Structure 1
Amino acid sequence: MEYRRLGRSGVKIAPLCLGTDNFANPTPEDEAKVMVNRAIEAGINLIDSSNSYAQGESERIIGRALQENGRRHQVLIATKVHFPTGPGPNDGGNGRLHIIRACEDSLKRLQTDHIDLYQLHRPDFEVPIEETLAALTDLVRAGKVRYIGSSTAPAWKVMEAIMVSELRGTVRFISEQPPYNLLDRRIENELVPMCQTHGLGILPWSPLAMGILAGRYADAANFPEKSRAQLRGGIYAERVTARGIGVGNEFVKLAQKVGVSAVQLAVLWVKDQPGVTAPLIGPRTMAQLEHFLPVLEMLLDDEVRAACDELVPPGSAVANFHNSAPWMKMKLPE
């Protein structure tokens, strides 16, 4: 397996990362810990979480798992800050007070003395980026954070942070974590070329398009049991569209023709797209994790890439995976 450099940093990571949004919601702790161990054994060395996943329980499970297996030194812990963690006016966002407090709380839950990659879960349009970067720089200088990144931000906002860090001498983003899959390719228009030009790694989330690309959904109005759209509703349900389901069905046929599962092909497609460092896989069960792992050694050939481009042209979208980002004003036709 070839490890990939994360942006302009000295860090190398496996071409898949373990996402933990399902830990404790609904994956039980015992199974989650087994998944952590199996992922490390397979060579995955970045585990991604957030202080908002299951009200912090995802971080706690990761912390307990790494304490029990003694493998903290083998992995990079990535987590995030932004969403509210309490009722107070300073219990959310990207201001100094919240970032410093949230980092201390995450360190306790993770049972570690440092976070390897601390990411802004969303941009904050009310707090000056100078304040945010200054707080993150203080955490790096204190040894509590190694690197910083962002998630689900517009290209211009990431670029603003890069320029301010250059001008002010503050710590610099090494990565961006956007939504990206065959159904929503809009990051290819600006974000991907910006990251390639300025040396940021890309760690996409939702490569399976919530299972739409695996043929999980047959009807945009009736969701299968235990699907994310059925379990969580809201923005998750909004992502399931008739157009997306149509493409998903054609994608399943393409995967059958290629001789791999649609799940594996969906992740492989993201993994081997230009500019991508490593997509996040978010297995709910141990069986799902095992099914993902062969993708670590797979390569996407040009013929399959071209067939995918025919389903959804580069830079376009048939489902909205940016619907958790208020800055995305573009509405897709039904």
Structure 2
Amino acid sequence: MGHRPARNPGGDRQALELGVNFIDTANVYAHGTSEEFIGQSLKNLGVNREDVVLASKVYFNEGHLSRRAIEREITATLGRLGTDHLDLYIIHRFDYDTPVEETMEALDALVRGGRVRAIGASAMYAYQLHTMQVVADGHGWTRFASMQNHYNLLYREDEREMIPVCRRYGMSLTPYSPLASGHLARPDWDADSVRATTDVTMRSKYDREREADLPIVARVAELAARRGVPMADIALAWHWAKGVAAPSSAARGRPRRRRGARPRRAAHRRRGGAPRGALPAARARGAARPSGRGSPRRDRSGAAETFVRAGRHAIHHPSRWRRSPSWCP
């Protein structure tokens, strides 16, 4: 659950009671107050530290991913969260100005020192992730255990290169925007909410491919109606079927109790259960079919539980291939 600051202790309590235990934030969300709210909320609710997985991020700060910046920012993050360690520390971007060796050594020192249990990466190019993992291996440093990338039924570019690299290294996927900024949670593309009318970032991510994406949204709505569940359940079930460990969705208001949806069945109907229109187009254009469907494999070594599932679906929207991976919550 990606967490934005909100004074809603009742919602936090209900989320925990419903089984939410992965809380993701960053040092820059609301200028650090997101971490403060989370730390105070967990304290007020009397939550045992071992009952939640806390993740935060570093990059959008002075010095980016330099050794000095990482040391400064982890100290501040732990103080705001009121804890002595993070379960997962994520680099928010690739740092073009700091040597990879300096960044990976600094992150490894946090793991060896016990302040961080595992490290993760976020929006970057696949070759950059591969380079950083190779450097870590070459020096005996800690590898990245997770990738928080942009991935959903409307945006699947990372199935080409990023996700295969993640599979190669046994990394967990914790993608952001699993509901495509709400487009996979309602049958209509446009909405009259404040966010829909003011969020320029959301429009830049999705509006250009609106006509191509509408059939996918319609198919999600059709499956949801047939099974009597919210559209969001179908979209998240698709993530589950693709081997996603924990989709990151910003918490807004009180969580709604689920109505007994069965994600495995919902996701595996009809060639993986993906909506019509999400898959065949790219195959017709000659996209390669990944071999084998495989089954989930859980690797419990290290701090992060890794789910691996070989994909078999092609990717759509070739017009997005050249976009820079710069969108991230």
**Fold shared, TM-score > 0.5 on shorter chain:** yes
Aligned to 1:19: 2
Q: CA deviation at 1:285?
A: 1.2
For residues 93-147 of structure 1, give each alpha carbon's deviation from its aligned partner in whole angstroms, at most 9, with x where no partner exists: 2111211111111111101111110000111122221110111112222221111
Aligned to 2:125: 154
Aligned to 1:8: none
Aligned to 1:298: 263
1: CA distance, partners of 2:249 / 2:182? 12
Q: Does 1:42 align with 2:18?
A: yes
**Secondary structure of the equivalent of 2:117?**
strand
2: CA distance, partners of 1:292 / 1:93? 40
How does the TM-score come out when normalised to structure 2? 0.79
For residues 168-214 of structure 1, give each alpha carbon's deviation from its aligned partner in whole angstroms, at most 9, with x where no partner exists: 11111111111111000111112222222221111111111011112
**Secondary structure of the equivalent of 2:84?**
coil
- Does structure 2 conserve the Cα–Cα contact (< 8 Å) formed by 1:81 and 1:94? yes
Change (3 A) 1:212 1:324: farther
2: CA distance, partners of 1:125 / 1:294? 46
Q: CA deviation at 1:218?
A: 3.6
Q: Does 1:248 align with 2:217?
A: yes
Please list every run of at least 4 consecutive aligned residues from structure 1 whose deviation after the TM superposition is greater than 4 angstroms: 291-295, 304-307, 318-324
**Please, which runs of 5 or more residues in structure 2 have no aligned partner?**
280-313
Q: CA deviation at 1:298?
A: 2.7
Aligned to 1:121: 92
The sequence identity of aligned pairs, in percent, is 33
1: CA distance, partners of 2:122 / 2:108? 18
Aligned to 1:280: 248
**Secondary structure of the equivalent of 2:121?**
strand
Aligned to 1:75: 52
1: CA distance, partners of 2:51 / 2:316? 38
Change (3 A) 1:322 1:93: farther
Which amino acid counterpart does residue 115 of structure 1 have in structure 2?
L
Counterpart of 1:61 (choices 37, 48, 72) is 37
Change (3 A) 1:319 1:239: farther
2: CA distance, partners of 1:96 / 1:200? 24
Counterpart of 2:226 (choices 251, 257, 263) is 257
Which amino acid counterpart does residue 277 of structure 1 have in structure 2?
A
Q: Does 1:51 align with 2:27?
A: yes
1: CA distance, partners of 2:158 / 2:26? 22
Aligned to 1:268: 237
Change (3 A) 1:248 1:64: same
How does the TM-score come out when normalised to structure 1? 0.78
**Secondary structure of the equivalent of 2:136?**
helix
Change (3 A) 1:324 1:78: farther
Counterpart of 1:239 (choices 205, 225, 228) is 205
Aligned to 1:325: 325
**Secondary structure of the equivalent of 1:214?**
coil
Which amino acid counterpart does residue 118 of structure 2 have in structure 1?
Y
Change (3 A) 1:206 1:318: farther
**Secondary structure of the equivalent of 1:132?**
helix
2: CA distance, partners of 1:44 / 1:293? 16
Q: CA deviation at 1:307?
A: 5.2
What is the RMSD computed on CA atoms of the aligned residues? 2.5
Alignment: residue pair count: 288
- Does structure 1 conserve the Cα–Cα contact (< 8 Å) formed by 2:86 and 2:116? yes
**Please, which runs of 5 or more residues in structure 1 have no aligned partner?**
1-17, 85-90, 328-334
2: CA distance, partners of 1:269 / 1:129? 34
**Secondary structure of the equivalent of 2:325?**
coil
- Does structure 2 conserve the Cα–Cα contact (< 8 Å) formed by 1:179 and 1:322? no
Aligned to 1:15: none
Change (3 A) 1:97 1:282: same
- Does structure 1 conserve the Cα–Cα contact (< 8 Å) formed by 2:185 and 2:231? yes
- Does structure 2 conserve the Cα–Cα contact (< 8 Å) formed by 1:184 and 1:319? no
Q: Does 1:104 align with 2:50?
A: no
Change (3 A) 1:294 1:48: farther
